[in-house]
Amino acid sequence: MLKLKGSLKISGDKSISHRALILAALSLGKTKISNLLESDDVLRTLNILRDLGIKIKKNGEDWVVYGNGTCGFFQPDSALDCGNSGTTARLMIGAVSSNPIKCTFIGDESLQKRPMSRVTDHLKTIGAEVHLTNNDYLPLMITGTQNLLPNKHIIKTASAQIKSSLILSGLNIKGKTTIVETKSTRDHTERLLKFLNLKFKITKYKNGETSIELNGPYEIFSKDLKVASDPSSAAFFIVAALITPNSQIELKNILLNPLRIEFINVLKKMGGKIIVKKTKKMCGEDIGIIKVKHSNLKGITISSSLSPMIIDEYPILAIAATQAKGKTIMKGLGELRHKESDRIVSIVSNLKKLNFNVISKKDDIIIQNKNVKIKNKKIIKTFNDHRIAMSFLILSIIYENKILIDNSDCISISYPKFHDHLDKLLKKY
């Protein structure tokens, strides 16, 4: 039998790693970045910045970026390859749009199916010239200009990628750019810009809207950046410890941004014994320790209003739900259809294959606890989706490794050290 025991430092946060690299490139001067996540997705952003003329070097464990200012990109020689990374594509499209260069963005098979017009429609209204494949997809061509217009953008789909893309574009727009989001999404770009001493205004309204007012063009002066550990990666081990008898773990240096750790409140509501302790501030973010013990979970209803805050955690929450007493209803998951795979399909089809009691109804997933026994080995289809792969490997722990996955290479998209870290925590008893 296996249990999880011990203490671990998780790898750097993916969202902050992308942003740290991009903002360092847009700053003037040299930025040292520590604890950068060296995953496939983040390396896509890093290599695209190099293609745009930014010098980036590794120095021991750290990375050094020689920033060239908010209008400092050079014309690239070839297409910018975003691989599997939606964050790279959407953020970099915004970042290049206010520079006078012509860029072609390409991506892998999965990324070519993910919508880009949610970003480019905004950029077109302010003067960027964009040609998309089938009006919505990569490959796309964008011709940027230093004369983009200041404007007010109202974002209808809750998405930090759209918001961040427009912020990055607005940094080199002369005049007032206003970005309004109707639901709060992760705010790392705003926090990093504040840490870099940028002057801009954020207003939160009673109806839940947030408005961000930029007054560009900006000069950003470089400052060394540290990346906290990724709570979305921690989520796999948190759920593993909750569902595996006799487990008790401690995860250190975790990013405790409230827009990222809502899944912990969900798991606590399900009966999870989790203690969160803030220890310090780092680059404008709260950091701390998370302690987790094996718990008897119960099913709950997860409201759609939480979805922007737990968007990446649904696959692993579904795994927790399979072990919770009663029924778990996860509501309003429409955005999951636009992730690395259609995650409603990937979660439901694989759980059904394992004989769990699960259904999807429009954009909801309902999981009813059932005492499933797995006698023979079963192979899960990951759809090349890193979070699906890791989620089912966690479920495999309590089924004595009878659940296998068809492809574990995709895990390096967000968490190359996943297997090493899991091995460190797993103990025989």
Positions annotated as catalytic residues are 312
Cα separation, 44 vs 323, whole angstroms: 36
The first and second tokens of residue 291, run together, are: 């302690």
Among 17, 85, 87, 229, binds ligand S3P (CB under 6 A): 87
| Stated length of the chain | 429
Residues 6+ apart with CB under 8 A from 328: 270, 299, 300, 301, 302, 317, 318, 321, 366, 367
**Based on CB atoms, which residue is closest to ligand S3P, 4 or 302?**
302
CB of 398 to ligand S3P, least distance (A): 26
Residues 6+ apart with CB under 8 A from 409: none
CB of 229 to ligand S3P, least distance (A): 15
Bridge partners of residue 301, in order along the sequence: 329
**Based on CB atoms, which residue is closest to ligand S3P, 343 or 421?**
343
CB of 233 to ligand S3P, least distance (A): 11
Encode 235-297 in three state secondary structure: HHHHHHHHHCCCCEEEEEEEECCCCCCHHHHHHHHCCCEEEEEEEEEECCEEEEEEEEECCCC
Among 11, 15, 97, 222, binds ligand S3P (CB under 6 A): 15
Task: Note whether 279 and 287 are within 8 A (CB).
Answer: yes
Cα separation, 85 vs 180, whole angstroms: 25
Cα separation, 251 vs 9, whole angstroms: 6
CB of 335 to ligand S3P, least distance (A): 6
CB of 102 to ligand S3P, least distance (A): 25
Pattern of binders to ligand S3P over 255-294, x per CB under 6 A? ----------------------------------------
CB of 45 to ligand S3P, least distance (A): 10
Among 40, 51, 230, 312, binds ligand S3P (CB under 6 A): 312
What DSSP designation does 227 have?
P
Q: Counting contacts by CB under 6 A, is residue 311 touching ligand S3P? A: yes
CB of 87 to ligand S3P, least distance (A): 4
**Based on CB atoms, which residue is closest to ligand S3P, 338 or 424?**
338
Count residues binding ligand S3P (CB under 6 A): 10
Pattern of binders to ligand S3P over 136-165, x per CB under 6 A? -----------------------xxx--x-
Contact set for ligand S3P, span 316-375 (CB under 6 A): 335
Half-sphere exposure of 181 (CA within 13 A, CB side): 21
Task: Note whether 368 and 357 are within 8 A (CB).
Answer: yes
Cα separation, 93 vs 98, whole angstroms: 10
Q: Counting contacts by CB under 6 A, is residue 230 touching ligand S3P? A: no
Question: Tokens 């504040």 appear where?
Answer: 194
Among 44, 153, 186, 421, binds ligand S3P (CB under 6 A): 186
Q: Counting contacts by CB under 6 A, is residue 187 touching ligand S3P? A: no
CA 50 → CA 24, 143, 236, 294, distances in Å?
A: 12, 19, 32, 45
Q: Would you tell me which residues interact with ligand S3P (CB under 6 A)?
A: 15, 87, 159-161, 164, 186, 311-312, 335
